[in-house]
Structure 1
Amino acid sequence: MTEAAILCVDDETVILETLQEQISRHFGEQFVYEAAESAEEALEIIEELDEEGVKIVVIVSDWLMPGMRGDEFLVQVYQQFSDIKTIMLTGQADEYAIERAKKEANLYSCIYKPWREEELIKIITAALESV
């Protein structure tokens, strides 16, 4: 059986730890949980998991990160892996970036910081059900 993974991407360690803790508390052992502190690191993880036969089902990505912004990252992901559900987490994304991600990366949802755990889990659950 192919393993399934959820990838969280944020340049703030505390945000990554909180996301992973909340998501893994709800979904338990159903998924492998990965974290990246930049879009570049996330792209490497995606490639490694793909080579190992692990299917990423959801990516939760920050928008404002050094190097590559979240909308650019999600567009790149969509070009290679169009079946991954993507969720942008942001406190600062402009409407243009959100619209771009919706059009060019098939963005599933946008969550604004600070988020509520219930909202995060509800959106991820809905994204998983829409696969």
Structure 2
Amino acid sequence: MSKSAILCVDDEPVVLDSLKIQLKNEFSDTYLYEFAESADEALEVVEELHDENISILVIVSDWLMPGMKGDEFLIQVHHRFPKIIKVMLTGQADNSAIKRAQVEANLHRCLYKPWDGKELIDTIKAGLATL
């Protein structure tokens, strides 16, 4: 059986490093962990994993990134893979972007930077419980 993955998207490497540590500490090697520094890079990762028959269970995405914003990215992913749990992690998103992601991408939750590690893990676990 192939593993499932959690994808984290943020243009700040320090944020991705923090997420990596928190996820590995909680879930150890239960999942594959993928990281992208832009929405475009993340879309490539989504396609590569799909081609390898690895299902992405959760995406944690920043909102304010160069190029494509997080809500647009999550909406694009949702159109192809509606079952993926989508979490926005941001310090910048405006309410209309969050609302749009909720309506058009079935956003599971929006967390704000700086985030609480326990809240992030609880959010991911709650999302996984719905699968």
TM-score norm. by structure 1 comes to: 0.99
Give the match for residue 123 of structure 2.
123
**Equivalent AA in structure 1 for residue 72 of structure 2:** E
1:19-98 matches, within 5 Å, as: 19-98=19-98
C-alpha root-mean-square deviation of aligned residues, in Å?
0.5
Following superposition, the deviation at residue 79 of structure 1 comes to 0.3
Q: Where in structure 2 are there 5+ consecutive unaligned residues?
A: none
Percent of counterpart pairs with the same letter?
Answer: 57
Structure 1 residue 56, shift from structure 2 partner: 0.2
Aligned mates of 1:2, 1:84 — CA distance in 2: 17
TM-score (norm 2): 0.99
Counterpart AA for 1:84: I
Residue 67 of structure 1: how far off its partner (Å) = 0.2
How far is the alpha carbon of 1:36 from its aligned partner? Answer: 0.1
Aligned pair count? 131
Moved over 6 A (4+): none
Residue deviations 1:14-44 (CA, integer Å, cap 9, x gap): 0001011101110011100000000000000
Deviation at 1:47, TM superposition (A): 0.2
The one-letter code matched in structure 1 to 2:99 is: E
Offset at residue 3 of structure 1 (A): 1.3
| Uncovered stretches (5+) of structure 1, i.e. residues with no partner | none
In 2, Cα distance between equivalents of 1:2 and 1:100: 33
Letter matched to residue 83 of structure 1: K
* Deviation (angstroms), 1:2: 2.6
